[in-house]
Amino acid sequence: MDPMLIGVAAILSSGFAVGLAAIGPGMGQGFAAGKAVEALARQPELRSEIISTMLLGQAVAETTGIYGLVISLVLIGIAQGFM
């Protein structure tokens, strides 16, 4: 197989890895923030607990995006080896 083709495929795959890995965290964080606002509207006295729980949920959701970034960087490193 042509090494240049492998390099190009790795670069394209790295873009897809970041793009697709960003969809899930974006939706998850938006959902968590929306539900936190609803909870704050119902029970404003629990503000600190609601916000800390929301931030923890958003941090967990963001790990998927970070994993996608790591995979993308690995693919770029592979592509540089073939180009």
What are 29-83's pLDDT values in tens digits?
899 899 999 999 999 999 999 999 999 988 888 888 899 899 999 988 888 887 7
Banded model confidence at residue 17, pLDDT cuts 50, 70, 90 = confident
CB 33 within 8 A of CB 50: no
Banded model confidence at residue 24, pLDDT cuts 50, 70, 90 = confident
Whole-number Å distance between alpha carbons of 52 and 19 = 28
Q: In Å, what is the CA distance from 69 to each residue of 3, 45, 62? A: 23, 38, 11
Nearest Cα neighbor of 72 from 34, 27, 32, 20 is 20
Domain boundaries, the chain: 3-82
CATH code for residues 3-82: 1.20.20.10
Whether the predicted model's global pTM rises above the 0.75 cut: no
